[in-house]
Structure 1
Amino acid sequence: MQICHAAIFAVAFELTGSAALAADANHGAELAKRWCATCHVVSDDQKQAVADVPPFAAVARNPDFSPEKLAFFLLDPHPKMPNFPLNRAEAADIAAYVASLRK
């Protein structure tokens, strides 16, 4: 029975953990600077953005923040945000970048 539980855990980790490990925060930073910096402050060296839009560092510090939720949010069209044609890997990369800003 323990072997069965271990196998189930290993498969579940492989399905969920590997996707999270595969996210590229550096690529996410590049995407964020290209697509998100018009409205959000996405890095420390950025001086200007839209006043009523949260900086990425503030998004990362939100107690409810998780990279998975953010990636899902980015893939779903929103009335307040432009509809960027992100694929799942790009959304995960941006979410990984935002997660890297958590202090």
Structure 2
Amino acid sequence: MRMGYGRVVCLSAAMVLVMQFACGSVEADSANGRRIAERWCAECHVVAPGQRHASDAVPTFAQISGSGRFDEATLSAFLANPHHSRMPNLSLTRSEIADLVAYIRRQTH
């Protein structure tokens, strides 16, 4: 069965996007993720050991990382579209999301 040129282009573009998303965590910069977390997330979440002020109504980054409920893909999807939660939409780029996810995944109890 022959595919039209438009379908081939769309399929190729989709494959490139999937590969970039799947490989993004390899290139993620957790140090930048920490900077993003300290700037945007620390008002509500405990984002690092030793942090003194945060809300006790939301999980810490260590709890999120250790919960087993969020793998890299789930965290990335959630951060890309947090409209269904109490979190604000931070309008992070894909690379910022990858960096933040890499930082969150490094946190432990």
Q: Report the TM range for the smaller structure's normalisation.
A: 0.7 to 0.9
Alpha-carbon distance in 1 for matches of 2:89, 2:70: 21
1:71 is displaced (CA, Å) by 1.2
Q: Gaps spanning 5+ residues in structure 1: where?
A: 1-10
1:17 is displaced (CA, Å) by 5.0
Bigger radius of gyration, 1 or 2? 2
Identity rate, percent? 38
Pairing partner for 2:81 from 73, 76, 84 = 76
Q: Gaps spanning 5+ residues in structure 2: where?
A: 1-14
- Matching residue of 1:99: 105
The amino acid that maps onto 2:81 is: D
1:20 is displaced (CA, Å) by 1.8
Any runs of at least 4 consecutive aligned residues in structure 1 with deviations exceeding 4 A, and if so which?
none
Q: How many residues align?
A: 92
Does the 8 Å contact 2:25/2:99 carry over to 1?
A: no
- Matching residue of 1:21: 26
Q: CA RMSD in A?
A: 2.2
- Matching residue of 1:62: 67
